[in-house]
Amino acid sequence: MTPYTTLRSKLVALLLAIALILTGTLAMPQNLSPYPGTNIIKTSHGYKALFQRLGKAIKKNKGSLVNRASAALGAKRVLDLSIPGNMVIGVYHPRFAVRVLKASIPAGIEAPIRFYITENTDKTASLTYRTPSSISTPYESSDLDAMARELNSILASIARDAANPN
């Protein structure tokens, strides 16, 4: 084998490797869609108003707001940086927590159920959540699935009450 043949073989191998990398990269989805069971509701409310409405809707439907986290608030406080409003809000009730754990200890990681409020470019806000039945499916528990169907209607009611234009 001549030095030219060796160099040529290495160049061909390198070009093939680059082509495979680029092909793999280009084949990857550029915009991943939400998980199955994800509901996204664009509302006419502003970000702060939707947060307040969601709190009232949670109470109205006998839920509890158990935690919240916001990258926007953190960025403002720590970095003095303003980014569009966003907040993850955990909602639950102890009577469901006990039922989840009776049905499936591993499913306990799914509690609380989360709502996500995001500020849109037009200064309205969207409300996103995953249905409990889509969250419970991988655990393969009929008791958990039955409870999730019950929670589906409660979360839908909370979302409807929060997003309603009235």
Q: Which option is the CATH number for 33-163: 3.30.310.70, 2.30.30.100, 3.40.309.10, 3.40.50.300?
A: 3.30.310.70
Element (H, E) at 17: helix 3-27
pLDDT of residue 19: 43
pLDDT of residue 166: 81
pLDDT of residue 17: 41
This model's pTM is above 0.85: no
Per run of 10 residues, the mean pLDDT along the chain (length 166 residues) is 58 44 42 76 97 97 95 92 95 90 95 96 96 94 95 97 92
Q: How far is CA 72 from the centre of its chain?
A: 16
pLDDT of residue 45: 98
> What span, in angstroms and rounded, lies between the C-alpha atoms of 159 and 130?
11
8 A C-beta contact, residue 158 and residue 54: yes
pLDDT of residue 9: 56
Peptide bond into 112 cis (omega under 30): yes
pLDDT of residue 84: 95
Task: From 131, 138, 123, select the one nearest 154 (Cα to Cα).
Answer: 131
Residue found by looking up tokens 């280009």 in the block: 26
Beta carbons within 8 Å of 124's beta carbon, 6+ residues apart: 42, 43, 44, 45, 46
> What's the first-to-final CA gap in the chain, in angstroms?
81
Phi, psi (5° rounding) for residue 20?
-65, -40
pLDDT of residue 91: 96
